[in-house]
A and B are shown apart, each in its own frame.
Chain A
Amino acid sequence: MNTGNDQLFPLHSHFERPAQQIDAAKLGMWLFLATEVLLFGGLFVAYAVYHYLHPDLFKAAHHFLDVRLGGFNTVVLLFSSLTVVLAIHGAQQGKKQMVLWNLFLTLLCASTFLVVKYFEYKHKFHMGLLPGYYFTNAMLPNPDQAHIFFGIYFLMTGLHGVHVVIGMIVLGWLFYRTWNNEFNPQYYSPLEIGGLYWHLVDVIWIFLFPLLYLIR
Chain B
Amino acid sequence: MSSHTNYLNAKKGFASWALTIDHKRIGLMYLVSIMSFFLLGGLFALLLRTELLTPAHTIVDAKRYNQLFTLHGAIMVFLVIIPGIPASLGNFVLPLMLGAKDVAFPRINLASYYIYVLGAIVALSSLFVGAIDTGWTFYTPYSTTTDGGVVLMVTAAFILGFSSIFTGLNFIVTTHKLRAPGMTWFRMPLFIWGIYSTAVIQIMATPVLAITLLLLIVERTLKIGIFDPVLGGDPVLFQHFFWFYSHPAVYIMILPGMAVVSELIAVFSQKRIFGYKQIAYSSIAIAGISFLVWGHHMFVSGQSELVGMIFSALTFLVAIPSGVKMFNWLATMNQGSISFKTPMLWALGFFFLFAIGGITGVFLGTLSVDVHLHDTYFVVAHFHYVMVGGTFMAFMGGIFYWWPKMTGKMYSEFWGATSTLMVVVGFNVTFFVQFLMGAQGMPRRYYSYLEQFQIYHQISTIGSYILGLGFVTAMITLLVSLKKGQNAPANPWKAASLEWTHTDVIPIEHNFHEQPVVTEGPYEYR
Taking beta carbons and an 8 Å cutoff, which residues of A are in contact with B? 13-16, 20, 23-24, 27-28, 31-32, 34-36, 38-43, 45-46, 49-50, 131-134, 144-145, 147-148, 151-152, 155, 159
Contact B218 A155 (CB under 8 A): yes
Closest 7 CB pairs between A and B?
A151-B224, A42-B211, A132-B223, A14-B101, A132-B224, A38-B207, A133-B223
Q: Which of B168-176, B303-311, B418-426, B496-504 contacts A (4 or more CB under 8 A)?
A: B168-176
Residue numbers in A under 8 Å from B203 (CB-CB): 31, 34-35
Once the chains bind, are A39 and B224 in contact (CB under 8 Å)? no
CA distance A144 to B233 in the complex (A): 11
Contact of B10 with A by CB under 8 A:
no
The answer to whether B459 has its CB under 8 Å from any CB of chain A is: no
Of the candidates B177, B225, B233, which one forms a contact with A20 in the assembled complex, judged by CB atoms under 8 Å apart?
Answer: B177
User: Using Cβ atoms and an 8 Å threshold, which residues of chain A touch B515?
Assistant: 16
- A150 — nearest CB in chain B belongs to which residue? B224
- B232–A144 touching, CB < 8 Å: yes
B224 pairs with A40, CB closer than 8 A: no
What is the interface of chain A mostly: helix, strand, loop, or mixed?
A: helix
State A89–B81 Cα separation when bound (angstroms): 46
Assess the A34–B204 pair: CB atoms within 8 A.
yes
B: residues with CB less than 8 A from A are 100-102, 104-106, 108, 165, 169-170, 172-174, 176-178, 203-204, 206-208, 210-212, 214-215, 218-219, 222-226, 231-234, 237, 241, 510, 515
A169 to chain B: closest CB distance in Å? 16
Say yes or no: A24-B178 contact (C-beta < 8 A), given A14-B106, A32-B169. Answer: yes
Smallest CB-CB separation from A37: which chain B residue?
A: B207
Task: Supply 14 A–B pairs (Cβ within 8 Å), ascending by A.
Answer: A14-B178, A20-B178, A27-B173, A34-B203, A43-B211, A49-B234, A49-B237, A131-B222, A131-B224, A132-B231, A133-B223, A145-B225, A147-B231, A151-B222
Checking A13, A36, A43, A151 against B225 with a beta-carbon cut-off of 8 angstroms, the contacting residue is A151
Contacts of A28 on B, CB cut-off 8 Å?
Answer: 104-105, 108, 169-170, 173
State A131–B226 Cα separation when bound (angstroms): 11
Identify which of A16, A41, A45, A155 contacts B224 (C-beta below 8 A): A155
Contact partner of A39 among B211, B223, B225, B231, CB < 8 A?
B211
Closest Cβ of chain A to B479, distance in Å, is: 31
Q: Which residues of chain A have C-beta atoms less than 8 A from B218's C-beta?
A: 131-132, 151, 155
A contact residues around B224 at 8 Å (CB):
131-132, 147-148, 151-152, 155
A132 contacts B234, C-beta separation under 8 Å: no
**Distance, CA A31 to CA B218, complexed state (A):** 27
Residues in B whose Cβ lies below 8 Å from that of A132: 218-219, 222-225, 231
In the complex, residue of chain B having the shortest beta-carbon distance to the beta carbon of A142: B232
> Residue among B104, B165, B208, B214 with the most chain A CB within 10 A?
B104
Chain B residue contacts of A32, Cβ below 8 A: 165, 169
- Give the complex CA separation of A23 and B173 in angstroms: 9
Known contacts A13-B510, A38-B207: does B215 contact A23 (CB below 8 Å)?
A: no
Cβ-defined contact, B208 with A42, below 8 A = yes
Given contacts A28-B170, A38-B208, A148-B226, 20 further A-B contacts (CB under 8 A): A13-B101, A14-B104, A16-B515, A24-B173, A24-B176, A27-B173, A28-B108, A28-B169, A34-B203, A35-B203, A38-B204, A46-B215, A49-B237, A131-B218, A132-B218, A132-B222, A148-B233, A151-B224, A151-B225, A155-B215
Q: Which residues of B contact A36 (CB under 8 A)?
A: 207
The chain A residue sitting closest to B181, CB to CB, is A16
Q: Is B225's CB under 8 angstroms from A147's CB?
A: yes
Chain B CB within 10 Å, residue with most, of A36, A42, A45, A49: A42
Docked Cα-Cα span, A31 to B202, in Å, equals 11
B215, A42: Cβ atoms closer than 8 Å:
yes
A159 to B206, CA, bound (A): 17
Shortest beta-carbon distance, A150 to chain B, in Å? 8
User: Contact partner of B222 among A13, A16, A134, CB < 8 A?
Assistant: A134
Q: A88–B85 Cα gap in the complex (Å)?
A: 40
How far does the Cβ of A158 sit from chain B's closest Cβ, in whole Å?
Answer: 9
A16: chain B residues within 8 A (beta carbon): 515
- With A24-B177, A155-B218 in contact, do A42 and B223 touch (Cβ < 8 Å)? no
Q: Select one of B206, B210, B225 contacting A148, CB under 8 A.
A: B225
Q: What chain A residues lie within 8 Å of B108 (beta carbons)?
A: 28
CA distance A36 to B208 in the complex (A): 9
In the complex, which residues of chain A have a beta carbon less than 8 angstroms from the beta carbon of B170?
Answer: 28
Determine how close the nearest CB of chain A comes to the CB of B1; give it in whole angstroms.
Answer: 25
Contact partners of A20 in chain B: CB under 8 A: 177-178
Kindly report which residue of chain B lies nearest to residue A49, judged by CB atoms: B237
Please, which residue of chain A has its CB at the minimum distance from the CB of B169?
A31
A46 partner, pick from B102, B178, B226, beta carbons under 8 A? B226
Whether B226 and A24, one on each chain, are in contact in the complex, defined by CB atoms closer than 8 angstroms, is: no
Given A14-B102, A132-B225, do A41 and B207 touch, yes or no (CB 8 Å)? yes
